Amino acid sequence: MGKRTAETERKTKETTIRLTLDLDGEGKTRISTGVGFLDHMLDLLARHAYLDLAVQAEGDTKVDDHHTVEDVGVCLGDALKQALGDKKGIQRFGSVSVPMEEARADVSVDLSGRPYLIYQTTKLPEKVGTFDTELTREFLGALATHGGMNLHVSVPYGENGHHIMEAIFKALAKALAQAIRPEEREKGVPSTKGVL
């Protein structure tokens, strides 16, 4: 298994984003998106999945955070797909349940190449600080679509919005860490089809 790294850039009328990713990192980050809560969640994601992640984003946050959050998800998904290459020798699947105080998030990942998002949460407050909590779904949808990932997120209970969001991103990190992990016994692509 060679070096699993990627660099992506995205420039639109709404955002300019540069992102680098190393799947075999140590959880080091340099993140500045202009959306403080997103920076915090991306830092958690990288730290708990042992990814080295650098993100520099500028967006039309004077309108709102939507375009920046979604486009960072697009770039991270693109980088994940690029870094995984043909996916030979990976575990492919990951599933983790993470508690955070009174909340719990269950996340399952299949790096199947067939994107799909299931996102079910307990009732969320509209905002955590200045962050619109509905944007978490937008981020995850963009990540799943551009990363070729089947992603299921379930939050059966929780009351504090920050705790819920943090549990989701930590569970995603640990599930993703499982899925991208090398499997010594896998000599090819982990699929009966022979391709992912």
The residue ranges of every structural domain in the chain are 5-180
Q: Beta-carbon neighbour count of residue 129 at 10 Å?
A: 9
pLDDT at 39 over 90: yes
Q: pLDDT-based confidence at 187, cuts 50/70/90?
A: confident
Average pLDDT over residues 24-44: 98
pTM for this prediction? 0.96
Dig out the tokens for 58 from the structure.
């500028």
Amino acid 2: pLDDT: 82
Question: Was domain 5-180 assigned CATH 3.30.230.40?
Answer: yes
Over pLDDT 70: what percentage of the chain? 100
Q: What is the mean pLDDT of the chain?
A: 96
The gap from C-alpha 81 to its chain's centroid, in whole angstroms, comes to: 12
Segment (H or E) for 82: helix 66-84
